[in-house]
Structure 1
Amino acid sequence: MPANAVPARLTGAIEGFYGRPWSAAERLQFVTDLAELGLDAYLYAPKADAHLRRGWAEPWPAAEAASLAQLSRHCQAVGLAFGLGLSPFRLYADYGRAARRALQARIHQLDDLGAAFLAVLFDDMPGDTAELAARQAEIVADVAAWSGAERLLVCPTYYSDDPVLDRVFGQRPAGYREALGAALPPRAGIFWTGRTVCAPSISGGDVVDAAAAFGRPVTLWDNWPVNDGAKRSLHLYLRPPPDRGGALDGACAGHLCNAMNQPVLSLPALAGLAELHGRLPSAADWLAERLGPAVAGALSEDAAFLEQRPRDALERHEEARLRERYAALGGAAARELLAWLDGAWSFDPDCLTD
């Protein structure tokens, strides 16, 4: 894929979780892995990056900006579309002249990083604003006019049918999806997570219904294998995305999986994504080569157990077995699993939708 090009159908990963973000070195390796899997897109949008969320109007310090510029160049070098996710927290509640100037300045700063696509993310914010869809569409129209990114995506405040969003962020306005889809600029795509925030399955009918409601194809923000919630942080998700036949439907404009807090342990799910979309002949073979056959085999054998049994419910002998097995195996994936057992990734209470 040429530098800065955006594929017709985005297929890749999101760093979009709550909690401790990855290091610069972890990101560079993760992007390399995505490219080797045959995937084509990476979206940088960690919730812990305040310069994308509550402090969205403030530019990154020089060192962080340089690190992101290096990441953007690396994505281009390996053939991945690099995306940035801006979450201008509650900007729609008071989008006056000063806020508009601040947003325009920030969009120009993001453009300087060379992102091939830009996502405006209204997720996990209160929806208690009159004419919410119209206000959000106004912001996106301005971004579309100012941004040099080749593609623009939008995550609605109500990005799923899941009633947990109404309980946490307020009752969604009647006809919100239809109003937002009708008011957005034609080139703006829509992120959607499925019928629930962390969908156990996504069917073709699910995708068609969502696309019909928004009046345009949807791009899946697939919350598999992400594990940042109060309950999900006690599990590891090491299988391919389950029951995702709808991800191949014509009403779907792309499929991006939100990674776990553990970058290397996210690879089994992402290898499954690549195989699902025909980018990889065999996820198992790729994982055996990347992680080593012993580690890949152990993770496959333990996948169901780690997905079903929460960490805080492990019997002493069960935890001892895991520690002994992965300490003996060694390698980055094993180190992440052992660190997870030690509670290295603490739950971020800002994550409200588990």
Structure 2
Amino acid sequence: MILRTILIPNKNVIKTQKLTANTILMKASLSGLFLLMCFFGFAQNLAINPTPQQTVISNYIETPTHFKLQLKNVDLATQNLLSGFFNEGNTSNKGFTITIGDINDRFHRKFLRKVPQNAEGYFINSSNKKITVIGRDARGTFYGVKTLLALLASDKFPQGEIIDYPDVVARGVVEGFYGTPWSFDHRIRQIDFYGQNKLNTYIYGPKDDPYHSSPNWRKPYPEDEATQLKKLIDRAAQNHVDFVWAIHPGKDIQWNDEDRTALLHKFELMYDLGIRSYAVFFDDISGEGTNPKQQADLLNYLHKAFVKVKDDVKPLIMCPTEYNKGWSKPEGGYLETLGKELEPSIRIMWTGNTVVSDIDQETMDWINSKIQRKAFIWWNFPVSDYVRNHLLLGPTYGNAKDIADDVSGFVANPMEHAEASKIAIYGVADYAWNMTAYQSEKNWLEALKVVMPESYKALEIFARHNSDLGPNGHKYRRDESVSFAPKATVFLQKLEANQQIDNLEAIQNEFQSMVEASYILLNSTDNPVLLDEIRPWVKQFQLLGQSGLAMLHMYKALEDKQTERFERSYQALKAMKAQMYAIDRTENQNPYQPGVKTGTLVVSPLIDKGFAHVVNAYNDTFDKNLEVESNYNPHQLFTNVEQLKNQQITLRDRTLALNPPLEILRFEPQSYFGFELQKIEHVKNIAYKLSPSTVYEQISLEVSNDGAEWTALKTEVKDDAVKATVNSEIKFIRLVNTSSEMSEAKLEHFTVML
């Protein structure tokens, strides 16, 4: 059971109640009704994020414009926050009194009793004479002032009380994605955004920072980079954000005194820069670095020799090697070893049942029993490093609302597109602060207004059709084009059955809105940073909407038997497809999932299927032979490696490629992966790269025409990559572990030129 304080709205009293699963649902319903009642006067115009826990409003007054500010125990960050609003022009001894402090200051006893016991909580009382803000601690006071300033931005100011505190202790973001790390400017903007939305944790762990990981984790940062880190650390302090510096030593660590001392020295260097929170990552590695006993011994050493010695360093965070249930090996006892051996204060990160998954109560029960502590959730959303040709701009949803008491932290792993990630992060802030009151759709609409205050309606149209990931190796999907999908289904059913289409206007309106929204976004000055990130997708989205309109024009011309109109629209649509192809081949090029995909779940399939149907019908009716283009890839993945069975393959310009997973692959003897072509056809050459390159001694490249009789190909190694000239007719291609031992390696690329 969970103890939670709730409000009974019609009696205006606070009552403590034991919450079972049923009463949690009841609280969620009451909370929604009560918040509607409480915030009716000002929530329409204000985005107070996250949603306060308890609010009682008795009346509204005209928002004061002149103030008498009385500061008690207020730290520098809160002083800086206040100075951005209060100045000589709006403060005097005759102004509306605002008193701000924390629980250790002298306030009326009845107010002090209402300050929540939870860390980072605060209490606000407002009357027609004065406003009082009291924090449980310095951060609570800071958050109370954040809420106060949001209220003062409205025309009407509420009279009453707010009692507020976070559900989850550590809330925020882990910059832990693969790909281009965020720039300094993006990180500054992110940290400010966290402060604005009461997020208190930023874990700095970019995979491509060589001084965070191999080969340079033992070395100090160069002076220029250290200077930039110092500025970020200071900015985090101004926003009451814990800048958690993470190190990733597992790829090449030696379990000896020399490396132990090197790690401690690196911690000291980061301490001198201002770091007071640390994490050690052992994810996505292989070899001796995965030993749980050695990992626990190292972290226990760091706890004793560093954390306990310092008075101001927070408990360590670790990311284990087995960081999800799908990868755990019960027979090895990895998680149980950490639970037993690791210092109890050290927090252990967890991504859920798989690498990318949503978190529920069953997940928490399973992992917490293994590690003998509350897991620290690393939620892999909206990260897109395994679907880099997509933008993930949809609502933040999917996690259970009853796990607040079972997690020690909740951080989201974002996209490499920092500004676009704010849409999801805004939702994470609300969810982790007040789970039972969280409303994903409502929060999402507010987030769009926050990131694009003027053009948010156009952004909403764009984002609704850019939220799903498409097929991917992790099988993680998101809703997309939700309100449009049923209309698209009916349209296609009627079209393919040659029946009258009654919702033609609705389909046309959607395509038209896509085109118009794209023009608005491309010419908006609302948020240039966001537009720079999403511009290729907006251009593609514009063409997609235009191609949808062209498809409908073709349908109408066919109905009217107007061949000239039909073929003009047909040629126009082909020209649009050519432009989309060019964008896909020139924008957002990367070694993993290059290109620009938009509207892939509903809109794009609708247009492709509609186009194919009307062209075929036109050819049959008028005895024509217009080409029907297809985006279909006829070839298949061929593997018995469980990790790869959902991995995607792509065909671009006669080059077949396996999208390389980001994680370490494990190959049992005789395990294999490769391609099965649709039919026997000519293959020019094959290329692949695995790391470390020593694994090549255990791997053989083989081809076959029937999948039974295999021939090993002669290969050459250059720059740690393997190439084979084939120039023959084949159907099956595979890499197979021909040794008697398990192999571990990271796949960099695997391509076949047809």
What is the TM-score when the length of structure 1 is the normalising length?
Answer: 0.84
Contact 2:177 2:385 in 1 (8 A): yes
1:239 corresponds to 2:394: yes
Q: Distance in 2 between matches of 1:26 and 1:209?
A: 37
Structure 1 or 2, whichever has the larger Rg, is: 2
Displacement of 1:309: 6.3
Deviations 1:52-107 (A, max 9, x none): 10010011100100100110011001111111111013355x21122122112111
Kept in 2: contact 1:228–1:347 (CA 8 A): no
Return 5+ residue gaps in structure 2 as ranges.
1-73, 78-137, 141-165, 472-510, 541-585, 593-659, 666-754
Contact 1:121–1:156, Cα closer than 8 Å, also in 2: yes
Letter in 1 for 2:521: Y
Are positions 1:78 and 2:239 aligned together? yes
Partner residue of 1:33?
193
Gaps of 5+ in 1: 312-316
Instruction: Single out whichever of 341-350 and 29-38 deviates more from structure 2.
Output: 341-350
What is the Cα deviation at residue 158 of structure 1? 0.8
Q: How far is the alpha carbon of 1:25 from its aligned partner?
A: 1.2
Structure 1 CA distance for aligned equivalents of residues 330 and 183 of structure 2: 36
Deviation at 1:46, TM superposition (A): 0.5
Counterpart Cα distance in 1 of 2:201 and 2:289: 35
The answer to whether the 8 A contact 1:155-1:190 is kept is: yes
Q: Is 2:12 the partner of 1:12?
A: no
Residues 130 and 308 of structure 1: is their aligned pair in 2 closer, same or farther, counting only changes over 3 Å?
A: closer
What secondary structure is seen at the aligned counterpart in 1 of 2:410? strand
Residue 291, structure 1, aligned to residue 452, structure 2:
yes
Which residue of the partner structure matches residue 226 of structure 1?
A: 383
Alignment of 1:92-241 (within 5 A): 94-126=254-286, 128-129=287-288, 132-145=291-304, 146-147=306-307, 148=310, 149-163=313-327, 174-199=332-357, 201-229=358-386, 232-241=387-396
Contact 1:91 1:99 in 2 (8 A): no
Secondary structure of 2:279's aligned partner: strand
Aligned equivalents of 2:268, 2:459: Cα separation in 1: 43
Tell me the equivalent position of 1:314: none
- Does the alignment pair 1:343 with 2:587? yes
How much identity, in percent, do the aligned residues show? 25
In 1, the alpha carbon distance for the partners of 2:520 and 2:212 equals 39
- Compared CA separation, residues 101 and 116, structure 1 to 2 (3 A): closer
SS in 2 for 1:329: coil
Cα separation, partners in 2 of 1:307 and 1:95, compared to 1, 3 Å: same
Distance 1:216 1:289 in 2: 36
1:87–1:121 Cα contact (<8 Å) kept: yes
Task: Find the aligned partners of 2:337 and 2:347 in 1 and give their Cα distance.
Answer: 14
Cα RMSD, aligned residues only: 3.1
Q: Does 1:60 align with 2:227?
A: no
Alpha-carbon distance between aligned partners in 1 of 2:459 and 2:364, rounded to the nearest angstrom? 31
- State yes or no: 1:328 paired with 2:489: no
SS at match of 1:108: helix
| Contact 2:170–2:200 under 8 Å retained in 1 | yes
Contact 2:190-2:418 at 8 Å conserved across structures: yes
- Superposition deviation, residue 137 in structure 1: 0.5
Q: Which has the higher strand share?
A: 2
- Secondary structure at 1:98's aligned position in 2? helix
Q: Distance in 1 between matches of 2:324 and 2:590?
A: 26
1:5–1:150 Cα contact (<8 Å) kept = no
Rounded to whole Å, the distance in 2 between the matches of 1:22 and 1:131 is 28
Go from structure 1 to structure 2 and tell me whether the alpha carbon gap of 1:131 and 1:302 turns closer, same or farther (over 3 Å shift).
closer
Could you tell me which amino acid in structure 1 is paired with residue 426 of structure 2?
A
Q: Distance in 2 between matches of 1:207 and 1:12?
A: 19
TM norm structure 2: 0.41
Deviations 1:15-60 (A, max 9, x none): 1111111111111111001111121111111111000100100111
Return closer, same or farther for 1:258/1:69 CA change in 2, 3 Å cut-off: same
Q: Relative to structure 1, is the Cα distance of residues 120 and 351 closer, same or farther in structure 2, using a 3 angstrom cutoff?
A: same
C-alpha spacing 1:301/1:347, structure 2 compared with 1 (3 Å): farther
Q: Name the CA shift for 1:350/1:204 in 2 (closer, same or farther; >3 Å).
A: closer
Q: How far apart, in 2, do the equivalents of 1:247 and 1:265 lie?
A: 28
Equivalent residue letter for 1:254: G
Alpha carbons of 1:287 and 1:310: their partners in 2 closer, same or farther (altered >3 Å)?
same
- Of 1-10 and 215-224, deviating more is 1-10
Q: Give the 3 Å change call, closer, same or farther, for CA 251–347 of structure 1 in structure 2.
A: farther
| Change over 3 Å in CA distance of 1:85–1:339 after alignment to 2 | farther
Deviations 1:170-222 (A, max 9, x none): x78621111112111121100001111111x2111211211111111011111
Shift of 1:150: 1.3
Contact kept? 1:240, 1:269, Cα under 8 Å: yes
1:254 paired with 2:409, answer yes
Larger RCO (CA under 8 A, 6+ residues apart): 1
Distance 2:465 2:192 in 1: 29
8 A Cα contact 1:204 1:249, kept in partner: no
**How many angstroms does 1:153 deviate by?**
0.5
Native 8 Å contact 1:240 1:271 kept in 2:
no
* Offset, 1:323: 5.6
Equivalent pair of 1:223/1:257 in contact (CA under 8 Å): yes
Q: Distance in 2 between matches of 1:100 and 1:61?
A: 21
- Displacement after TM superposition at 1:157 (Å): 0.5
